[in-house]
Amino acid sequence: MSTQDRHGRGLGVLPRTRRGFLLGTAAYGAAIAAGWGCAGSRTEPVRSSGESANTKRGPSDSPGKQLGVALLGLGNYSRTQLAPSLSLTRHCALRGIVTGTPDKVANWQRDYAIPDRNVYDYQSFSRVADNPDIDVVYVVTPTALHAKFAVLAAEAGKHVWCEKPMAMDEAECQAIIDACRKNGVSLSIGYRMHHEPNTQTVMQFAKDRPYGPLRSITALAGDRSPGGDGWRMQREMGGGALYDMGVYSINAIRYASGEEPRRVVRARQWADRPELFREVDENTEFELELPSGVVAHGKASRGDDANRLRVEAQKGWYQLEPMQAYQGVQGTTSDGKPLDKQVEKQQARQMDDDALAILEKRPPLVPGEEGKKDIRIVRAIFRAAATGKPVDLCRA
């Protein structure tokens, strides 16, 4: 199994991560010790990272109130999806922004009526601790910066919403979880598909098994990239297909099966356009062995637009296509049941669900431990692609 592109350059090298801000050898060891294994075959609910008797309640933390949200990172996703969605939410609203680009501030203030006191740059961000307008910080930076700013937000006493992928590795994920737990704040990861109704139907199928035992799962997630020099093309920042799109495929395999993978059977990474993808993977394919014996196939790509989840079972099949689009997620089953429920804006539902969980002082739908599980598998896929050998995900 080759781990090189067609020009002979290796693509299976594990990206280095930025952990100088807090993660040393001891922290890494502690994070790994807090990992998960394969003792059971079914995915069980996990406790919220911020769920504790000391969870903080700010002045807005009561039903009927709106939580104030600050978006940290004002890139395309914040601009085109999150900010517009926050104009539709009932339980939270856009109240602040954090950006490293001063030229963006005026337009955001004009469009969303954000006062000067709620505008921060990355250097002044720690002062958010003194701002009662802000209850939640949504971290929407490049992946390599998630841990740094999620930890700072937690230390400022703010609830944390962190975009996926959660972080660069397990140690960074655990650092975020620990910071939120220590400071008594909620932590939720931005897996909008967990809030999407057709996806939730597939999750229920995994519990009820209406079509009998599973035989195969295929999860494909792609978004063709035009290239460029943005952070998604930089290894150190968490770029490449596996980080960017792979969590969709990995998470789909997990929620569609209700099982935690126990082994990466094989993986390969390559670039069809090596002139564009000089240091990150354009494509990653992988197979995950589940405790039931099913081997699931996944693919992440920045070279094609594949967008499908298909589950074959003993008595039939079901699929979603597209499975992770911003709108129009839909599917069907072998006996003709339509999976076609629609929501006005997925991100609005996601943020309202997460805000209501804070207001009602209960665990979020997607806690930090869920994001950490996917990153564990991401790192194992990198190792399998680099070595050409299977990687065991279970504890000895």
> Before 363, cis peptide (omega within 30)?
no
> Before 142, cis peptide (omega within 30)?
no
pLDDT in tens, 148-165: 999 999 999 999 999 999
> Rounded to an integer, what distance in angstroms lies between the CA atom of residue 114 and that of residue 101?
16
Question: Beta-carbon neighbour count of residue 62 at 10 Å?
Answer: 11
**Whole-number Cα distances in Å, 174 to 108, 170, 187, 281, 303:** 33, 6, 12, 26, 32
Cβ neighbours for 41, distance < 8 A, ≥ 6 positions apart: 259, 260, 290, 291, 292
Question: Can you give the pLDDT at residue 15?
Answer: 56
The separation between CA 316 and the C-alpha centre of its own chain, rounded to angstroms, equals: 30
Question: Can you give the pLDDT at residue 229?
Answer: 84
| pTM, two decimal places | 0.88
Tokens 């598998």 appear where? 377
DSSP assignment, residue 82? I
Mark the ranges of the chain whose per-residue pLDDT is less than 70: 1-63, 395-396
∠ Cα 246 247 253 (to 5°):
95
> Rounded to an integer, what distance in angstroms lies between the CA atom of residue 75 and that of residue 140?
8
268 sits in which H/E element: strand 263-270
> Rounded to an integer, what distance in angstroms lies between the CA atom of residue 47 and that of residue 59?
25
Catalogue all structural domains in the chain, each as residue range(s) with its CATH number.
52-191+349-365 (3.40.50.720), 197-342+376-392 (3.30.360.10)
Bridge partners of 69, per DSSP, are 94, 136
Question: Beta-carbon neighbour count of residue 106 at 10 Å?
Answer: 10
Asked whether 289 and 262 are in contact (CB, 8 A), the reply is yes
> Rounded to an integer, what distance in angstroms lies between the CA atom of residue 214 and that of residue 308?
17
∠ Cα 223 385 11 (to 5°):
65
Asked whether 159 and 136 are in contact (CB, 8 A), the reply is yes
> Rounded to an integer, what distance in angstroms lies between the CA atom of residue 215 and that of residue 315?
10
> Rounded to an integer, what distance in angstroms lies between the CA atom of residue 356 and that of residue 343?
18
> Rounded to an integer, what distance in angstroms lies between the CA atom of residue 365 and that of residue 346?
14
> Rounded to an integer, what distance in angstroms lies between the CA atom of residue 103 and that of residue 291?
52
What secondary structure, in 3-state letters, does 191-218 show?
CHHHHCHHHHHHHHHHHHCCCCCEEEEE
Structure tokens, 351: 């943020």
